[in-house]
Structure 1
Amino acid sequence: MLSLNTKRILIVDDAEDIREVAQVSLELLAGWEVLTASSGKEGVAKAIIEQPDAILLDVMMPGQDGPTTFQQLQANSATQHIPVILLTAKVMPGDSAHFASLGIVTVIYKPFEPLNLPVLMAEALGWSVD
């Protein structure tokens, strides 16, 4: 049974192994409810319906990438309030500042340490991990 203050996280990543590792980490270590989507288009649709407390969004995805997905989330009044954390393997100088200027909460770099993922997310979002 989920408590009333259980956070709901939507993970949007085309890599099944990343989704699974992140899901297990967030569910077992933080006790959060996790929803997943394997594409940006699916992620936007789920965000509209499910209204998660935060979205963990992969930058590099085929078809619709993370920045395009983020723009769609920001353009929709039903999802523009949901904080987004980007997940990326490619680190370019200036990316973090650029993403922050767009309204991204923070960037988490792959490969991430599964034991640290809930802490990194909670700190960025101002949440406590029980």
Structure 2
Amino acid sequence: MTAAILTVDDSASLRMAIRIALTGAGYAVTEAVDGEDGLTKAAETRFDLIVTDLNMPNMDGLAMIRSLRAQPAQAGIPIIFLTTESDAAMKAQAKNAGATGWLVKPFEAEQLIRVVRKVLGR
């Protein structure tokens, strides 16, 4: 069965790059434009993994993760931060909010796929 992945990023070009990489590796990808949109889509569909940006309008990635982790149905879904931030304090905040992993932009498609496979265990 194909893993379903939700990508959340306010950059259309980045969403496209992530979608191309992940669909090319055989994953089913749904896109959201910010944290609010991500929460809505996560409530409508069960995803195997969420890949989110940190800095977005309306609701940032940290707030979205905290909201997801507060919902029992979403508590165990792995979440990878894909962001330009590399600060250790920010990484700690993300981990405390419930992020599973961290990948710094810019990224190589192969690097993203390796992280996704590792987190999904497939």
Query: Cα–Cα, structure 1 residues 40 and 77, in superposed 2: closer, same or farther, change >3 Å?
Result: same
Partner of residue 116 from structure 1, selected from 86, 111, 117:
111
Alpha carbons 2:62, 2:97 under 8 Å: kept: no
Distance in 2, Cα, partners of 1:40 & 1:98 = 17
Structure 1 residue runs of 4+, over 6 Å off?
Answer: none
More off after superposition, 13-22 vs 101-110: 101-110
1:127 pairs with 2:108: no
Distance in 2, Cα, partners of 1:34 & 1:98 = 26
Alpha carbons 1:13, 1:39 under 8 Å: kept: yes
Distance in 1, Cα, partners of 2:93 & 2:74 = 21
Q: Which residue of 2 aligns with 1:19?
A: 15
Unaligned 5+ residue runs, structure 1?
A: none
- C-alpha displacement at 1:68, in angstroms? 0.4
- C-alpha displacement at 1:82, in angstroms? 1.4
Structural RMSD (CA): 1.3
Query: Cα–Cα, structure 1 residues 82 and 126, in superposed 2: closer, same or farther, change >3 Å?
Result: closer
Number of aligned residue pairs: give it: 122
- C-alpha displacement at 1:126, in angstroms? 4.5
Query: Cα–Cα, structure 1 residues 63 and 104, in superposed 2: closer, same or farther, change >3 Å?
Result: same
Alignment of 1:65-84 (within 5 A): 65-84=60-79
Alpha carbons 1:59, 1:86 under 8 Å: kept: yes
- C-alpha displacement at 1:44, in angstroms? 0.5
Alignment of 1:90-105 (within 5 A): 90-105=85-100
Distance in 2, Cα, partners of 1:52 & 1:100 = 20
Percent identical pairs in the alignment equals 31
Which structure would you say has the larger Rg? 1
Q: Which residue of 2 aligns with 1:7?
A: 3
